[in-house]
Amino acid sequence: MKVTEINSHEYHAFYSTYISKVPKSVSLIDGYKTGEKRILDFFKAIPKNKLIYRYAPNKWSIKEIFQHIIDTERVFIYRCFTIARHDKTSLAGFEQDDYIAPSNADKKTIDDLVEEYKAVRLNSIVLLKSLDDDDLKFIGNANGSQISGRAAAFIILGHEIHHLEVIKERYL
């Protein structure tokens, strides 16, 4: 399954920013494996003294962005799972800023964040391998909008690409 197979009715227009960042030729599982390597190489290469840098007051540190990537994957893979299981429950949105302070990301080591990311990513890959195309195409509702399981899964990939671009542009 490739991102080009997703129709615009499968997700809210807000997410087109993320969907558009996913390479068109990548399959879902390969995208997760490639993304994992990209994320781990990227964050491991950042000097330790830059990890708590903020480019402006009230902006997240690099560690907090990494935590946000992890937390967002948790939320969206849960959406993917729930929808792919044909659950018609309307899933709540999440306020990303509310998750940062209690995460204590700046107190974690980069190794802690890497371990957490790897565990979440492995969970996502194992789940995605267990789902068939028809189930991933199922349309559910999250945050008041229609979304398919596969759109939720691809949004994760585009979301992490987006944040790497932000870090390169504003932090490094």
> What local confidence, expressed as pLDDT, does residue 5 receive?
86
> What local confidence, expressed as pLDDT, does residue 161 receive?
98
Alpha helices (H) in the chain, listed in sequence order: 16-19, 28-45, 62-84, 96-103, 110-130, 133-137, 149-170
> What local confidence, expressed as pLDDT, does residue 2 receive?
72
> What local confidence, expressed as pLDDT, does residue 145 receive?
96
> What local confidence, expressed as pLDDT, does residue 79 receive?
98
On whether the pTM is more than 0.75, the answer is: yes
> What local confidence, expressed as pLDDT, does residue 58 receive?
94
> What local confidence, expressed as pLDDT, does residue 45 receive?
97
In a structure prediction context, what are the per-residue pLDDT tens digits for the chain, which is 172 residues long?
Answer: 677 788 999 999 999 999 999 999 889 999 999 999 999 999 999 999 999 999 999 999 999 999 999 999 999 999 999 999 999 999 999 999 999 999 999 999 999 999 999 999 999 999 999 999 999 999 999 999 999 999 999 999 999 999 999 999 999 9
> In terms of residues, how long is the chain?
172
> What local confidence, expressed as pLDDT, does residue 111 receive?
98
φ/ψ (deg, to 5) at 85: -90, 10
Q: Which domains does the chain have, with CATH numbers?
A: 3-170 (1.20.120.450)
List residues bridging with 91 in a β-sheet: 142
